[in-house]
C-alpha cells in the first residue's frame, strides 16, 4: 500500500496518496491487534517472557518488531496528515519515500522473523 501511495503522489493524485497511507496505517494497526491477541493467548497458556528460552526469544523478537510497526503506523498517519494538507506533490515526494523505505524494511524483517519463528 505504501508503494501505491508513493506512485499516486508521483502522479499528482493526493486523494489516492491519503487513501493508500490510511490503508497502510489500518493494516499495521490490525497487525498490532493480532500481535496483542497472540501475546495474551500465549500468556494464558503459561508462555511468558520469563517462562522459557522460547518465551524470552519469541516475546523479545516479535515485541521489538511490533514496536517498529507501531512507529511505522504513527509515521504513516503523520505522512497522511501532511499529504492531506498538500505538503507533498509530484515534484516533492521525499517524505513519502522515506516512510516507504522504513515500512518496507520492517516488512522484510517480519518475513525473516515469520520464517524463523513460525515455519522452521
Annotate 55-98 with DSSP letters as a single string.
HHHHHHHHHHHHHHHHHHHHHHHHHHHHHHTT--BTTB-HHHHH
Is 25:71 a contact under the CB 8 Å cutoff? no
What's the pLDDT tens digit per position in 62-111? 999 999 999 999 999 999 999 999 999 999 999 999 999 999 999 999 99
Task: Summarize the confidence of residues 37-63 as an average pLDDT.
Answer: 96
Is 79:21 a contact under the CB 8 Å cutoff? yes
Task: Summarize the confidence of residues 48-73 as an average pLDDT.
Answer: 96
Supply the CATH classification number for the domain 2-119: 1.20.120.80
Measured distance CA(17)–CA(34) in Å, rounded: 26
pTM for this entry: 0.93
Locate the domains of the chain by residue range: 2-119
Amino acid at each position: 500500500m505504501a508503494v501505491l501511495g508513493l506512485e499516486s503522489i508521483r502522479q499528482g493524485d493526493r486523494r489516492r496518496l491519503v487513501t493508500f497511507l490510511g490503508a497502510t496505517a489500518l493494516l499495521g494497526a490490525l497487525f498490532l491487534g493480532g500481535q496483542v491477541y497472540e501475546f495474551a493467548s500465549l500468556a494464558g497458556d503459561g508462555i511468558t517472557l520469563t517462562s522459557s528460552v522460547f518465551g524470552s526469544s519469541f516475546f523479545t523478537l516479535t515485541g521489538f518488531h511490533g514496536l517498529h510497526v507501531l512507529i511505522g503506523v504513527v509515521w504513516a498517519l503523520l505522512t497522511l496528515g501532511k499529504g492531506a494538507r498538500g505538503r507533498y506533490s509530484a515534484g516533492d515526494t521525499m517524505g513519502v519515500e522515506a516512510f516507504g523505505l522504513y515500512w518496507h524494511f520492517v516488512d522484510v524483517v517480519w518475513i525473516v522473523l515469520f520464517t524463523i519463528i513460525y515455519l522452521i
